[in-house]
Amino acid sequence: MPKQVIIPTGSPPPIAPYSPGARAGNVVYTSGLLPLDRDGKLVGPDDVRAQTRAVLENIKSVLEAAGGSLSDVAVSMIFLKDLKDFQAMNEVYGEYFKKDPPARWCIGCELVKPEFLVEIQCVAHLA
């Protein structure tokens, strides 16, 4: 089955050669998405809550463009620049996954640019 590239209308321009998402059958893979607005500008400098919200909204737009929603997410991978931001990120994350949250993991690591505090990648299974 062929892969379908998912690029939502108004999504931030990629900062490297990748697509925001890809669908293969009923599975949607998002790239590790960043806290960028539709013009590619950073959202929420030094504010992990604002950055987490921006990332999750970008993920939501990819899933909706593929015909799904956040409730279809089976697993998410979270990358934090600093694990001291875990609680603040988690509070915002919990707003988006209130019921039956997906499996996930979270690691602390350097991100592609120093101003990014969080990056999240998801895999969703559509019904």
The residues that are catalytic are 106
Asked if residues 1 and 26 have their Cβ atoms less than 8 Å apart, the reply is no
Element (H, E) at 43: none
CA 65 – CA 33 distance, rounded (Å): 15
Which letter, b or e, does each residue of 4-29 get, where b requires 16 or more Cβ atoms within 10 Å of its Cβ? Answer: eebebeebbeeeeeebbbbbeeebbb
